[in-house]
Amino acid sequence: IDREKIVSMLSIHDANATGLTGSTELDLNTGEVSPWFALVKGSGVSVKFGTNAGGSYGHGSKATLGVSQLRSVFYLTTFEENGELATRFQGKSILQSMQDGSSQTQGTGFYGIEQSVAPIIGNEIPSWSTKLRREAVIAGTGTSIFIPFPDLHASRDLWIEIEIAVMANFYY
């Protein structure tokens, strides 16, 4: 193993979930937002399937970016579409926006298909992501979130703090 090529990665996986379905872009005609768009590209957007769905205002999508020292995250999702499994992969970075003269710089960047900023599909998906998901989860539908260079050493009681934060924000 070449130690210079190792990237610390916090991986979060779910299994037997629906995955991030729907359009990868906002439908400008209807304003309809898909689960994929809400998590990967939306800002303050929440999509719910039923009254028992967790979450609140869509702000949780930024939580993983805050854990990454690079302020970057990668998403891999597998879902059922027309009776077959479909898989998507995309990365997102949110950097500090700045005022540059009379214009504002763009602070969000995506890792995906360059021309359309679309997710990567099929055999073009990076093999490391599918390998990590396969090692952690039985195949099937669901989503994996990969956080490069996670800043997990700030607290000795990190997992206790995470449990408290989750309960405080999502316990009804």
Side chain identity at residue 51, one-letter code: T
- pLDDT, averaged per 10 consecutive residues of the chain (172 residues), comes to 76 90 82 84 62 52 80 94 94 84 83 87 93 88 92 72 73 62
Q: Give the closest residue to 93 by CA, choosing from 75, 115, 111.
A: 111
What secondary structure does DSSP assign to 3-48, as a single string? GGG---EEEEE--SS--S-S-SS--TTT----HHIIIII-SS----
Q: What's the confidence (pLDDT) of residue 57?
A: 47
Is 38 within 8 Å of 47 (Cβ atoms)?
yes
Distance spanning both ends of the chain, measured CA to CA: 47
Cα 159 off chain centre by? 20
- Nearest-Å Rg of the Cα atoms of the chain is 17
Q: What's the confidence (pLDDT) of residue 101?
A: 86
The structure tokens listed for 103 are: 């214009």
pTM of the complete model: 0.79
